[in-house]
Structures are given as structure tokens and as C-alpha cells.
Structure 1
Amino acid sequence: MAIVTGAGKGLGAAFACALAADGLSVLVNNRQRLGMSDSAAETVAEIEADGGTAAADLHDITAPGAAEAMVVSAVAAFGGIDVLVLNAGITGPIAKVGALDEATLRKVLETNFFAQAALVTAALPHLRSRPGGRIIFISSTAGLHGLKGRPAYAASKGALNGYALSLADELRRDGIGVNILMPYAATPMTAGTADAAAGLLAPIRTCAALRWLASPACTATGQIWVAGGGQFRRAISVESRGLGEAEATPEWLADHADVLADLTGARSYTGAEAAFADLFADAKGRAE
């Protein structure tokens, strides 16, 4: 059984339909705006027309108690939770840092980060009670590289990435796979920015990655995957090997900047503790 948030259209609808096609019952979450069609019900109808099983959930994920209510609905409808796909999100308005007001920043973070964390907290006991649980955070490369004009969106996705990687480390012994998918797709949320490539960037072209990450065949955890246009990549954070100098000065750093920045032999780490331990070992070895 899977919960997919923001699944009324775009990527979320594609993800929900793909998981249903793989045999999972799906709780299709999407808030219903006043005067708008019930897009969650439309996705459910599409799934059922293809022989799948689904139910609609209309909670706004940012509403108080929405996370708990969504989990209750999923368990009541399908008996438990095996897969959690955290897809719902907003981009917020285009605004450079100096013009970005605090209320806008908080609104984007409330949806893209705090609501996601609340749903994880609510679903975690149920995921732990069943073997092979999967949590997939739908993030963005904006959280890795930044995004000019959308600092709130980039910040929210950066926060989500750090949270997801921490959670993956915590749940490693529980056998729950936690990974991040960063899809590129032409969707209603990206209207006007990717229209020319809408066919190539159709949401369905990212679904193979989502299906794999949600499947028992995937043993990866704590990883970041990028998908779009039928292209798939893994992304990682790395640190250069660097140099050591106990009496370093700004002038020394300027003289050695190229060597310090050289990523030959760069390393990635499972958790900040491992990164610190590696740096400390280098520092201690140099001191000895």
C-alpha cells in the first residue's frame, strides 16, 4: 500500500498510477480548491479504469492534523502503509533574496518541509510494523545547486534533502529504505518554463526511478537520484582530500586554493559524523 501526496496531476498522478500498475493500493492525496475539480478523484478513476485499487484523500497537507488523518485513512482503507511518496510541494513566487518577504519564505517551507516531516512522523510506526518499508522524498536539484529567483524553493528542498539523508541513516537498521528522487518534468507547476520540451519531459519518463526506489528490488538507502526525459543520474555530496596546515593563514589558503579544491579522490560520507571523523583523522595524522 502506498500514500502519494500531491497526486491529483503532474508528477504525483503519474507516480500514483505507476505504483498502482505495479500492484500497490494507493491513497491518492490532493487538496481540492474551491471551485476546482476533484483531481484526486480523477486520478483514482484512472487507476481503477486500469484495474488498480485506489482511494482519494483531500487533505491539505499543511492543515493541522492532516498528516495523522491521512495515515488513519490509509490504514482504514488498506490495512497499513508500505510506501510513502512525499511529492506535494509549491514553488512559491519568483523573488530574489532581497525582495523575498518572511511570510513567503515560511509558506514555502511549511509546505515543502514541515508538512513532509509531519507526515513521516505520523506514518513511521506503520512503516516499521511491516517489512521492507520505503520512503521516497520528491525533491529538486534546486536543493543541491540553488535556483536564481526562487531561493525559498531551493532552501526548502535543501532542508528536505538533509532531513531525508538523516532519516535514512536512522532507519538503516530497521530495513526501511529512504531515498530522494529529483525529477525534471513538464507539469502544471512548471508551466511556461518547459513547454517546448513537454513531450520529452513528460512525468511518465521519471516513473521508472520511482518504481524502482519503491520496490523490494531496491536495496539502496540514503541516496539521491535525478530523473528526467528518460535520463537517470545519481547525485552525491563530496569533499576534496584537501591539505593540512596547523598555522594556516589567508595567504596560505590563497596560494593553495587550486590544490584544496581539486576533487581528484574526493570522498562522500554516510552522515556528518563520518565526514568529521575523516577530517579529524587527517588532522591527527598530520599532527603526529
Structure 2
Amino acid sequence: MTPTDPEDLADRTAFVTGGSQGIGREIARTLAREGANVAVAARSDAIHDVAAEIDDRGGDALAVRTDVTDEESVRSAIESTVEAFGGLDVLVNNAGIAGPTAPVEDVTVAEWEETMDVNVTGMFRTTKHAAEHLRESDAGRVVNISSISGKRPLENRTPYTASKMAVIGFTRTLAFELGDDGVTVNAVCPGATKGPRIEAVIEEQAAELGVSYEEAKRRVFTDDAALGELVEPDDVADMVAYLASDAADHITAQDVNVTAGSVWY
């Protein structure tokens, strides 16, 4: 699926956190396919593999080691991206962790703080250091990856759910803060998306509920989805590309669902 003109993002530069695997990897690949220069930002060495794959396909990518929990790392990565490509137009805040699966009384303060630091404060750090460059762009875009959990409760996942609800509040407020400079800010709320992270969450839910993997998957994630299935990573990436494109010029302060029909608000 190609939601935009293949050259719609040509000569624009995107910075994608958590770009080494899963949804982030697919977002980086999709934005590059749409013509953008892409900085693949993550802690993992796999950023080099993703960047090499993009380059091999005729795109232009930069691997930038980035730890969103470290402000100096974020500042340096943003600066390296601007130096390499001459500016910054699109920020995709995708980095995140699942956090613990446990009743609230069994969640440690350290687990809570780690989840918030990566999923919320990490997003603040990248946006703080990207904002001046996005304001200077003629087509500034911020796309924050929230979750279905930002819309509805998910049992035994209080840190993760609270963090993803915070992302929506951050998105709506930032849209008004940056709007005078023509920067749009939106959130994408994926449903349970195929990949290693959701597999680990399903396994933890199965253990907590005392049921099989398939039963936990059905009971927690697919039973209430209109399509009765998990979301594909490229579905999320295509929505990000659309929101980064000229076609979404007047879409801002929104939280857009890509959930196979499990949330409709």
C-alpha cells in the first residue's frame, strides 16, 4: 500500500526513534520509499542494518545511535541529522517499551519510572531538541506513536496504559504550541501489532491469566476487533507516511486509530 505520491516526501528529512526494529523499522523504510531522507535512531546496532537496507534500495539513510532516556544522546543525534541533511522536517516518536504485566500492587516504582521515562519523557526529550528545526521547516510534522491502550484500559498494564494516554495529551497540547509555525502534530494509536514485542506481551498475559498463548491472544487482543486479527506493522507505517505528507496539511491534534476495529473513538 502506498498512501501518498512516491515523491511526496522528497527532499524532506525524518528522524525516527525506535527505528531499529518492529514498527519503527517499517516506518523508516516506508518514509524512505516515499522519498524522505531518514535518520534511523535507536540504541541497537541494528540501526546500521536498517540504514544499509534503505541505502541499498536507493534511499538515503543515516544510522544515529540514540538513547531517548539520555538528553545529551538525543541532542547529539538531532544535531547530527540536521548537519547531514541540512534540516529536519518530520519527527516520529516511536521509541517505547512494554513495561511490566502485573497487578498494580506488584509493579515496582522502578518499573513504573522506566516505562514513563522511555515512553513519555523520552518523547519530550526528542521533541524539545527537534522543535526549533521543525518550526523552520515549510512542512514540519510530528507523529507520536501512542497505542490502543491510550484509548481503553488494558488489565495488569498500568504503567504502559498511563504512558500511552499521556502521549495523547502531549500530542494535543503540542499541536497548539507548534501550530502557529505550521507544524502539525498527531498521534497514531496502533492496536496489537504483529512482532516480537506483542508476542512477549501475549506470553505474559497468558501466564498471568493461566491460559494458553492462543487463548490469551484471542481473549485480550482479537476477540473485540472487527477484523478479528492483529495489525500489520506496514499498516501503521502507511498511516505515519500519510500524516507526514502534504495530503495531511490540515490534520493536527488528532489521535488516529489503526486497530483492526477494536477501538472507534
Contact conserved, 1:224 with 1:234, CA < 8 A, in 2? no
User: Is 1:187 matched up with 2:195?
Assistant: yes
Identify the residue that residue 109 of structure 2 maps to in structure 1: 102
**Match in the other structure for 1:206:** 236
What is the match of residue 147 of structure 1? 154
The number of aligned residues is 229
Whether the 8 Å CA contact 1:206–1:228 is kept in 2: the answer is: no
Q: Percent identity?
A: 35
Q: Which letter maps to 2:70?
A: A
Residues 103-129 of structure 1: CA distance to partner in whole angstroms, max 9, x if unpaired? 111110000011110110100000011
- Of 41, 52, 55, 1:29 maps to 41
CA deviation after TM superposition for structure 1 residue 67, in Å: 1.8
Matched, 1:222 2:253: yes
Deviation at 1:60, TM superposition (A): 1.4
Q: Deviations over 1:120-152 (max 9, x none)?
A: 010000001111200000001212212111100
Does the CA contact (< 8 Å) of 1:225 and 1:234 recur in 2? no
Listed as ranges, the matches of 1:133-282 within 5 Å are 133-184=140-191, 185-192=193-200, 193=202, 201-218=231-248, 219-228=250-259, 235=265
Contact 1:225 1:232 in 2 (8 A): no
Which has the larger displacement, 199-208 or 80-89?
199-208
Provide runs of 4+ in structure 1 moved above 3 Å.
194-197, 231-235
Counterpart contact for 1:179–1:213, Cα < 8 Å: yes
Residue pair 2:19, 2:40 contacting (<8 A) in 1 also: yes
Query: Gapped runs of 5+ residues in structure 1?
Result: 33-37, 236-288
Matched, 1:127 2:158: no
Secondary structure at the residue paired with 1:171? helix
The Cα shift of 1:234 comes to: 6.5
Higher relative contact order (CA 8 A, sep 6+): 2
The Cα shift of 1:56 comes to 0.4
Q: In 2, are the aligned partners of 1:225 and 1:233 still within 8 Å (CA)?
A: no
C-alpha change, 1:30 and 1:214, in structure 2 (3 Å) is same
> Which stretch of structure 1 is more off in the superposition, 78-87 or 66-75?
66-75
SS in 2 for 1:81: coil
CA distance in 2, matches of 1:134, 1:11: 18
Letter of the 1:202 counterpart:
E
Deviations 1:224-258 (A, max 9, x none): 111145x69863xxxxxxxxxxxxxxxxxxxxxxx
Q: Which runs of 5+ in 2 are unaligned?
A: 1-12, 204-212, 218-228
What corresponds to 1:58 in structure 2? 65
**Under a length normalisation based on structure 1, what TM-score does the superposition of the two structures give?**
0.75
CA distance in 2, matches of 1:233, 1:188: 22
Q: Is the 8 A contact 1:8 1:43 kept in 2?
A: yes
Structure with higher Rg: it is 1
1:206 positional shift: 2.2
Q: Distance in 1 between matches of 2:129 and 2:143?
A: 15
